[in-house]
A and B are shown apart, each in its own frame.
Chain A
Amino acid sequence: MSNINGKVYAMNAITPMKPWKTWILRSFFFLLGHVKPLQKDLIDLSFIEFARWVVLPRNGFPFLGNGQVKEDLKYDYLLFFSNFNGTWNQYIDAFSAVLSKGLNLVWRWSEKFPGSVPVTTFKEYIARVQFDTDYYYTAYPHATANDVKSAHVVQSSLNQLELLAEQCNPQQFADAYLRFVLQVQSHLGETGEAPIAG
């Protein structure tokens, strides 16, 4: 079992929902997907590399025959998979503090969801519905979401300076280089192994 690889944590959670409520949740996700300003807090949190919610209808579990017994369920299920930086406690605390309204809109349709505030009961609920990851891979374990965003800023700025470097005189280049340094200076944070838990 390994929920952690380098600087990323893999969270899996599954919660039951009464089937009639899943349509409300689907509508909310439709809005969230199409009205980008609604995603602002999620983007600003900036420690989630990838996350997804999957509404799984009670009759939607893959059925392949070959001796498999068909599921017979009363609830639809909400699956949540997140790839985030930092620790479990930091993640849930930040979620609860910054995204409490959004989280409530996502999980209030799930059975026995206590609300994302206060954080203590929210953590108890998440701990109950979470299940562990058997295998977790990341192509860049030493980098956080912010590192990746910053690295692309540096790469893009470098590409622009490179175009200029061949064409201008030394003084013009020195001026452009100074502008480049100002542009990238806040994007040069160190990557490497994650701090050791203790």
Chain B
Amino acid sequence: MPNKNGSVYGLTILSPIIDDARATPSHDLQIRNYLAKLSTREDSPFALAPATHLARLVVMDDVIYVGAPACEEHLKSKYLIFESNCDGDLDGYLRGLADNIPEHLDAIWKHCVGYPGAANRQAFIDYMKACQLDTTFYFAAVNDKSVSETLRALQTQTAVADFIATHQGVDAATLQQEFIQFVARLKSLPLPRPGSMGPHRDIKTGGRNE
């Protein structure tokens, strides 16, 4: 099954949420409340753990009825969908999540049926795999670069644009010398933090975007 495209892995997990009439608020709502307060920037759990390009968490309440003459049917459980586009092999990725953000994983998945907790790494990995769906077709625009490589390249792109703009008409010897210094400086810069917007730059756009 094509869960991989190049070096990128498309992980799809569907975890049944506990259905307990005595729980107030209900478990699905507790997940939603937790997710609503979770940062999506540099301090996002997925930024703190390695190897996630893009990821989403979705509470799926039910399947959707598209109208007659289709049959109307309903799920018996609500499901938590975890969709991730990540680097490397699945075991390594899941272990990275369990090592770096166990408290977030537990806070979210403790509302799901049969969740063993992240402390027991192997049980956690086995649980996630038991909830995994195989992807039928997976598309990745860039499928051969890691998160770190992409963050580095985006940083380089901005720096190169600035270097070119400020070195127009410079004589050959100075250009060569300053280019060598520029590359050395660029390499010494820390990698931009995943989930950050990068250096602030003025944006010259406008108009409607709905």
Interface residues of A (CB under 8 A from B): 1-2, 5-6, 8, 10, 12, 14-16, 25-26, 29, 32-33, 39, 42-43, 46, 48-56, 60-75, 77, 79, 81, 83, 87, 89, 110-112, 125, 128-129, 131-143, 145, 147-152, 154-155, 158, 161-162, 165-166, 170-171, 173-174, 177, 181, 184-185, 187-188, 190-198
Contacts and interface: CB of A to CB of B under 8 A. Distances in A.
B190 interface: no
Interface string B25-45: 000000110011010110010
Given A50-B8, A50-B53, A152-B153, A142 B198 contact: yes
Given A68-B16, A140-B154, A52 B205 contact: no
B73 A74 contact: yes
Interface string B58-79: 1111011011001101011101
Size class of the B contact interface (CB-based, 8 Å): 35 or more
A140 B150 contact: yes
Interface string B170-210: 01110110011001000000000011011011011111111
Contacts of B18: 67
Contact of B175 (A75, A134, A177): A177
A32 B154 CA distance: 30
Contacts, number: 303
Chain B interface SS verdict (over half):
mixed
Nearest to B180: A165
Contact of B156 (A26, A149, A151, A190): A151
A191 B35 contact: no
Main DSSP-derived SS at the A contact region: mixed
The 3 closest A-B pairs by CB, nearest first: A170-B172, A151-B153, A174-B172
